[in-house]
């Protein structure tokens, strides 16, 4: 039996030191909304087509200084949207790891970090942005 096609990667769960600080970042900086808040240790956010789970790290002293993931990416519809987002984040005082640039494959993106130092890429990626 053949497995059905994926709809794409639309859910990620992050363990964070301070749930409220992360929720504030993802809602005020990236405009996500709270989908469900079952308790103070767990909040589920969405931009309308995804789900970002924020969970309190059970023992912050055991947090590795090395990220287990390289980065998470938020896809936008156009290359110009990358620059609009860059200006918005600059106006909020967000420090960029990399300034916006166009890649060899036609993608355009930039990088910044969340309160737990998780690397975030905001990207226009032609194969999926134009759907």
56-93 confidence digits (pLDDT tens): 988 777 766 665 688 999 999 999 999 999 999 999 99
CATH of the structural domain 69-131, one choice from 3.40.47.10, 3.10.180.10, 3.90.79.10, 3.50.50.60: 3.10.180.10
Superfamily per CATH, domain 9-57: 2,3-Dihydroxybiphenyl 1,2-Dioxygenase, domain 1 (3.10.180.10)
Neighbours of 16 (CB within 10 A): 21
Phi and psi for 3 in degrees, rounded to 5? -75, 145
6 near 48, Cβ under 8 Å? no
- The pLDDT value recorded for residue 70 is 82
- The pLDDT value recorded for residue 66 is 63
- The pLDDT value recorded for residue 65 is 67
Q: What are the percentages of helix, strand and coil residues in the chain, rounded to 5?
A: 25, 35, 40
Write down the mean pLDDT value for the chain: 90
Residue 41 has pLDDT above 70, yes or no: yes
What is the per-residue pLDDT across 90-108, written as a single tens digit (0 to 9) for each? 999 999 999 999 999 999 9
Report the candidate in 59, 61, 54, 62 with the shortest Cα–Cα distance to residue 114: 54
């Amino acid at each position: 039996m053949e497995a059905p096609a994926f709809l794409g990667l639309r859910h990620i769960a992050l363990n964070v030191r301070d749930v409220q600080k992360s929720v504030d970042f993802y809602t005020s900086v990236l405009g996500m909304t709270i989908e469900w808040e079952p308790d103070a240790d767990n909040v589920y956010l969405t931009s309308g087509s995804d789900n970002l789970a924020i969970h309190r790290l059970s023992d912050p002293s055991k947090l590795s200084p090395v990220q287990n993931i390289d980065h998470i990416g938020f896809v936008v519809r156009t290359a110009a949207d990358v620059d609009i987002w860059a200006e918005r984040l600059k106006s909020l005082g967000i420090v960029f790891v990399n300034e916006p640039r166009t890649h060899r494959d036609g993608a355009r993106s930039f990088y910044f970090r969340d309160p737990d130092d998780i690397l975030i890429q905001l990207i226009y990626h032609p194969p999926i942005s134009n759907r």
